[in-house]
Amino acid sequence: MTTRDQIIQAQLTAYLAKLAKLVGFNTVSQAGQHDLPAGGTYLVDLLQHDLKADVTVVPTDGAPAIVAQLTGTSDQTVLFYGHYDTMAPGDLAQWHTDPFQLTPQAGRLFGRGVGDNKGQLMAQILGVYTYLQTHATLPLNIVFLIEGEEEQGSPNLAPTVTKLKTSLLAAVDLAVVIDGSMSQSGQHVLRLGNRGLFGFELTAITGQVDNHSGNTGNVMPNAIVKLNTVLARLVKNGRVQLPHFYDGVPTTTEIPWDLVDALPFDALAIARQLGLTHVPAQRDYYRRLMFEPTFNLNSYQAGTTGPDFKTIIPHQATVKVDCRLVGQQSIPAIEADLRQALASELAAGTLKLTIRGRIPASVTALSMPKVQQIAGIIKSATGAVVIEPMMPGTVPNYVWTDILKVPVVTIPYANFDQHNHAPNENLTETAFVAGIKIGYELVDQLATVIGNSN
């Protein structure tokens, strides 16, 4: 057993206690929050006391961000990104534990935010802490940037990075995002990019109030029918009709098939899990998942819901849409096309458009030799690693590539079945310990990667 593993094993109870305290704070993401919540204050104290970090609480137009700086013996600087905010627990009746009390059960740690992102963030902090117990100095400079609005789509992260890029973040050479889930195969993952997100709501309005279908049927327009007509204009036969929607989507020759072919793939398990009637081919599955955009209707609200039956004509209907974007798709161009396509209804007031999210897709600029080096670091800590060219989901990695102008990789520490954003969110104890080990090895070896000219 290495000295690293001995320290982790000897102090695991204390490490779990620190995680339990963080999970115990209610840091549910809230629009309009401007004060650092108690959970954020605990992180500030932890970073100052355990890591001896120089910590700055950065005000934003929403929840404050936390920047912690640690000085090493080289000029190389790595930034670790995480977030302290969480989703709301939702229906408490569906939880079998208190969401704000870390509860160990059968090798898993249950609690809201334990997977997304408190457990992963704590594992990285403890990785640095473990390193400092056996080394007098750090081999590189470390910056933690911890925000409080990730679950709202990080509305103030880009302005914050823009404000700090010539001061607290000026020396950063590489950003490492500690968020997301491991591979479904159970292997740890190194992700090189992520899909973007363009989210919006459309509300059709055909009157002032709902009307009785017997009194005004065939006279009053139905908002559901109106909204469906609009959607049928936007998407036909599964193809989005906005003129510039597919501009910048990677071509077949631009997809890194060598990385795709090396990904784990259990076709029968995927088919069972997703309820598919056919078994997808590996390349087709990952091409659709990583390199094609989506136009997803994620909710529809109109008329009478629930068990009641009411003979009314709805005067209002709303659909929420999330578009996962890939490659060089342009959000401004897509939004301009959308507004043009709906111009007459928007002008007449019979349709309302509300934008809910604009996060560009991101791809790292790291060379493959450096990617392989980082993958080797993860493998040295856990025994196995998978390199994913693209994360199917969305994280705000564009702030590092487009604003800070540094390469970025994502290394998730949470198990695939963490149930983040759902009841009974959990982190396996094995994943928590492995995350601490990866965090330790990143501190120990990243200076060499950053300094390598390849």
> What are residue 169's phi and psi, to 5 degrees?
-110, 10
Which 3 state secondary structure label does DSSP give 189? Answer: strand
- Rounded to whole angstroms, the Cα distance separating 157 from 178 reads 16
Same domain, 354 and 368: no
The verdict on residue 255 lying in a domain is no
Which pLDDT band, with edges at 50, 70 and 90, does 452 fall under? confident
The verdict on residue 146 lying in a domain is yes
Least confident of 140-154, 172-186, 301-315, 372-386: 301-315
Among 313, 331, 359, where does a domain finish? 359
What pLDDT is recorded for position 431?
98
Same domain, 201 and 243: yes
What pLDDT is recorded for position 276?
87
Contact status, residue 198 vs residue 339, Cβ threshold 8 Å: no
Among 335, 359, 383, where does a domain finish? 359
Reported as a single tens digit per residue, the pLDDT across 375-388 is: 999 999 999 999 99
What the block records as the tokens of 197 is: 């997100």
The verdict on residue 286 lying in a domain is no
- Rounded to whole angstroms, the Cα distance separating 450 from 324 reads 31
Same domain, 239 and 306: yes
Same domain, 300 and 385: no
Which pLDDT band, with edges at 50, 70 and 90, does 310 fall under? confident
CA–CA–CA angle 97, 393, 258 (5° rounding): 125
347: CATH: 3.30.70.360
The verdict on residue 280 lying in a domain is no
Q: In the block, which residue shows the tokens 């594992």?
A: 123
Cis amide bond preceding 117, omega within 30: yes
Same domain, 370 and 441: yes
Among 328, 359, 390, where does a domain finish? 359
The verdict on residue 222 lying in a domain is yes
Same domain, 111 and 135: yes
- Rounded to whole angstroms, the Cα distance separating 119 from 414 reads 8
Domain count, the chain: 2
The verdict on residue 202 lying in a domain is yes
162: CATH: 3.40.630.10
The verdict on residue 275 lying in a domain is no
Q: What is the mean pLDDT of residues 350-365?
A: 94
Instruction: Tell me, yes or no, if the pTM score tops 0.75.
Output: yes
Same domain, 173 and 201: no
Query: Comparing C-alpha atoms, which of 18, 62, 30, 25 is closest to residue 40?
Result: 25
Contact status, residue 184 vs residue 178, Cβ threshold 8 Å: no
Same domain, 175 and 60: yes
Query: Comparing C-alpha atoms, which of 245, 249, 248, 246 is closest to residue 340?
Result: 245
Beta strand segments in 141-215, E: 141-147, 174-177, 188-191, 193-194, 196-205, 211-212
Same domain, 97 and 134: yes
% of the chain exceeding 70 in pLDDT: 100
Contact status, residue 105 vs residue 415, Cβ threshold 8 Å: no
Reported as a single tens digit per residue, the pLDDT across 396-407 is: 999 999 999 999
Same domain, 126 and 245: no
Query: DSSP labels for 337-379?
Result: HHHHHTHHHHHHTSEEEEEEEEE--EE----HHHHHHHHHHHH
Q: What is the mean pLDDT of residues 42-50?
A: 98
Same domain, 177 and 214: no
The verdict on residue 380 lying in a domain is yes
- Rounded to whole angstroms, the Cα distance separating 329 from 326 reads 6
Does 270 score more than 90 pLDDT? Answer: no
Give the domain extent around 226: 196-249+292-359
Q: How far is CA 433 from CA 9, 10, 57, 237, 436, in A?
A: 9, 12, 28, 47, 5
Same domain, 205 and 182: no
Q: What is the mean pLDDT of residues 193-210?
A: 95
Please count the CA atoms within 13 angstroms of the CA of 164 that sit on its side-chain side: 26
